[in-house]
Amino acid sequence: MRKYLGFLKVSSLAVKIAAWIFLFLGVLSGIATILNKVPGYPWWMGVIILGVYAFLFFFFYLIAKIADLLTKIINEIKKE
């Protein structure tokens, strides 16, 4: 199990970065849609976009936190 710690740490960081990118792009596109800067889409579609990207952010961030927790658990087991 110890050989996967590097992979877990790197993948956790990559997933956190992806989560923040999703949140940034979601807020940007949601606000642009709400302010009618995107032709052809109603304002309420921006609210749906914000909700979907917020869910994706929390989902990916939760996965990264679980990977961090798993790394800590493996480290604690190996200390004993």
Element (H or E) spanning 80, and its range?
Answer: none
58-77 confidence digits (pLDDT tens): 999 999 999 999 999 888 88
The share of the chain scoring above pLDDT 90, in percent, equals 69
33-44 confidence digits (pLDDT tens): 999 998 899 999
What is the distance between the alpha carbons of residues 68 and 71, in angstroms, rounded to a whole number? 5
> Is 22 in contact with 55 (CB distance < 8 Å)?
no
8-30 confidence digits (pLDDT tens): 899 999 999 999 999 999 999 99
Could you tell me the pTM of the whole model?
A: 0.84
What is the distance between the alpha carbons of residues 78 and 11, in angstroms, rounded to a whole number? 21
> Is 33 in contact with 41 (CB distance < 8 Å)?
yes
